[in-house]
Copies of this chain bind each other. A is one copy, B any other.
Amino acid sequence: MVEYHQSRLDLVFRALGDHTRRAMLQRLSQGEQTVGELAAPYRMSLAAASKHIQTLERAGLVKRTVRGRIHYCRIDPRPLERAEGWLRGYERLWDTRIERLVELLRHPDNDSTDTE
Closest CB in chain B relative to A116 CB, distance in Å:
17
Distance in angstroms between the alpha carbons of A93 and B29 in the assembled complex? 7
A87 is contacted by which of B19, B75, B84 (Cβ under 8 Å)? Answer: B84
Distance in angstroms between the alpha carbons of A19 and B2 in the assembled complex? 11
CB-CB under 8 A from A13, the residues of chain B are 13-14, 16-18
Distance in angstroms between the alpha carbons of A18 and B86 in the assembled complex? 13
Number of this chain's copies in the assembly equals 2
Closest CB in chain B relative to A7 CB, distance in Å:
7
Confirm or deny: A100 has a beta carbon within 8 angstroms of a beta carbon on chain B. Answer: no
Interface size class of A (residues with CB under 8 A): 20 to 34
Confirm or deny: A35 has a beta carbon within 8 angstroms of a beta carbon on chain B. Answer: no
Confirm or deny: A109 has a beta carbon within 8 angstroms of a beta carbon on chain B. Answer: no
Interface string of A13-29 (1 = CB under 8 A from B): 11111110010010001
Distance in angstroms between the alpha carbons of A75 and B6 in the assembled complex? 21
Is A17 a contact partner of B11 (Cβ separation < 8 A)? yes
Is A18 a contact partner of B10 (Cβ separation < 8 A)? yes
CB-CB under 8 A from A22, the residues of chain B are 6, 9, 86
